[in-house]
Amino acid sequence: MRAGTFFCREATSMAWEKLTLSRPNSLVPLIGLSIVWIVLVIAGAALTNFDEPYLPFAIAGALAFFLRGAPSRWEIYAWLSISVIFVKVIHLSQVPFWVLRVASAFAVLGFAALLLLGLRALWSEREGRDNALALLVPALVLVLFIFASGNVLRLSGSLNPQTDDAWLYAFDGSLGFQPSFFVGTIMFNSIILTRSALLTYLSLPFAMAIVCAWKIPVAAKRISWHMLTVLLLTGAAGWILYNVVPGTGPLYAFGRDFPWHPLPYKDLLGFSLRKMSIPLDIPRNAMPSLHVGWAVLLFWNSRGFPRVLRAALVLYLLLTVVATLGGGQHYLIDLVVSLPFVLAVQAAASVSTPSRSRRITALLAGLAFTMAWLFMVRFGVALALKSPLIPWGFILTTTSITIWLESRMLEANSSSGAKENVSLVEPYPRPSTGQGRQFSRSSVSTYPRSEGQNAGQ
C-alpha cells in the first residue's frame, strides 16, 4: 500500500512539467496541439448521439482511467469545472428517458476526464506523458470499439432477414418451462429490480472501463493491452457467431405474448419450427449472449481486485443475467453458450500462460462446446424434448467443465500475471532539488405456430 501511494504521488509530481518552461518559443506547438485537442473533444461532445446509452457510458468510462491516474487536487478542481462547461454543450435537459439522462450525466464527467488526460500527455515530460498515454489510449479504444460495434451490429438484420428464434424458444421450453418468460414476470412486477437490471444491462461499457482501468498498474508507463484484447476479440468473434444461429430474443419474436403467455411444455411437440421474419432494424444478437459473456470475463479478470469491487462485479453479473432474460433480449440457451465461448476467447488471449497445454485444452474445449451447442440448438430440439433431464444435463456439464478449465488455466497463469504487473510498474525518479512539485421493439406480432416443421419431429 505504501509503495502504491509513493508511485501515485511521484506520478502526479512529475506531470505538467512543461507548464514551467522558460522559453516562449517552445510553448507555441504545445499550445497549438492543446487547442486542437480541446476542439476535438468539444466537437465529440457536440456530435455524440445521446439518444442511445452505450456510447455515452463508454465515454463516461474515461473517468475510471482518469481517477486511476491519481489526479492531484488541482486536477480534480479542473475536472469538475470543465464538466460544468460540458453540461452546456450536451444540453442534458433535452435528453429523454431516465437511463439516457444517467448516461449523459456520466458522459459529461467522461469528456472532462478525456480532455485532462490528453492535456496531461501534452504538457508532461517523458515519464508523466507515458503514464497519461497508458491511461488515455485504452479509454479512447473502448469508445471507438463501442461506436464501431453499434454500427456493425446494424448489418446483422440485412445479412439475416429471417431468424432462428423458433429453435431457441423451443430449446428453452425443453427445460420444462420458459426461463426468460419466468424471469420476465418477476422483473416486471418489481420496479426496483426492473430499473436496477436495466441500468446494469445498458451500462456495460462503463463496467468494462472500470475493470480495464484497474488492471493498469500504478504509474504504468506502457499500455496494457491484455484486457482490451479480451473484450475486443469477444466482440469480433461474437458477431460472427450471431450469423450462425441468428436470433433476436423473445421480446421481438413473440411480441405481446412476452412474458405473460409462454407456450406450455406439453404443447411444444406441436410448435412450428420455422424461420421468422422480424424487422431488419432489430439486431440479430441473441446467440450467444455477449452481455453475459463480457460480464463473466470482467469477473474472471478481476482476481486480485479489492473484495468490494469483486463483490460488485458478482452483483453486476447476476443483474446482467436477470436483465438479459427478464428483458426479453435473450433465451437461457444464449447465456449457456456464452460460457464456453468466452472460455475460448480467454484462452486465446492468454498468450503468457506458462502452461501451454492447459491453455490449448481450454481453447479447444471452449470451441468444441460452442460449436456443439450451436449444432444442438439448430438440429437437436427433438432430442431435447424427450425429457427435460437431457438439456439440463448438457447445461450442467457445460457449465461445470467451463468453470473447471478456466480455474485450471488460472492456476498456471497467476504467477506469470504477478510478474507481468511488477515489470510494468516502474517508479518515477524523485524530482531533483529545487524542481518543486509541479501541477503535481416491441410491436412485432406473434408468429403462427402451426405451419412448417414441428418441434417434436
The pLDDT tens digits of the residues spanning 61-92 come to: 999 999 999 898 999 999 999 999 888 777 66
Instruction: Taking residues 298-317, report their average pLDDT.
Output: 95
Mean pLDDT of the chain: 85
The single-letter DSSP state of residue 185 is H
Per-residue pLDDT at 417 exceeds 60: no
- Choose among 125, 15, 101, 124: nearest CA to 51: 101
Q: Identity (one letter) of the amino acid at 138?
A: P
Q: What is the CA radius of gyration of the chain?
A: 25
Indicate if the pLDDT at residue 438 is higher than 90: no
- Residues belonging to the chain: 457
- Write down the pLDDT at residue 334: 97
Cβ-contact 200, 57 below 8 angstroms? no
Predicted model pTM: 0.86
Max intra-chain CA distance, the chain:
85
pLDDT at 10: 43
Q: Can you state the percent helix, strand and coil of the chain, rounding each to 5?
A: 70, 0, 30
Residue 428 near residue 269 (C-beta atoms within 8 A): no
Q: Is the Cβ–Cβ distance between 54 and 61 less than 8 Å?
A: no
DSSP H helices in 243-355 = 250-254, 290-300, 307-326, 332-349
Tell me how far apart the alpha carbons of residues 382 and 378 are, in angstroms, rounded to a whole number: 10
pLDDT at 368 over 50: yes
**Average pLDDT of the segment spanning 277-288:** 94
359: CB partners within 8 A, 6+ apart:
347, 350, 353, 409, 412
Average pLDDT in the 205-225 region?
A: 92
Distance in angstroms (rounded) separating the CA atoms of residues 249 and 282 = 10
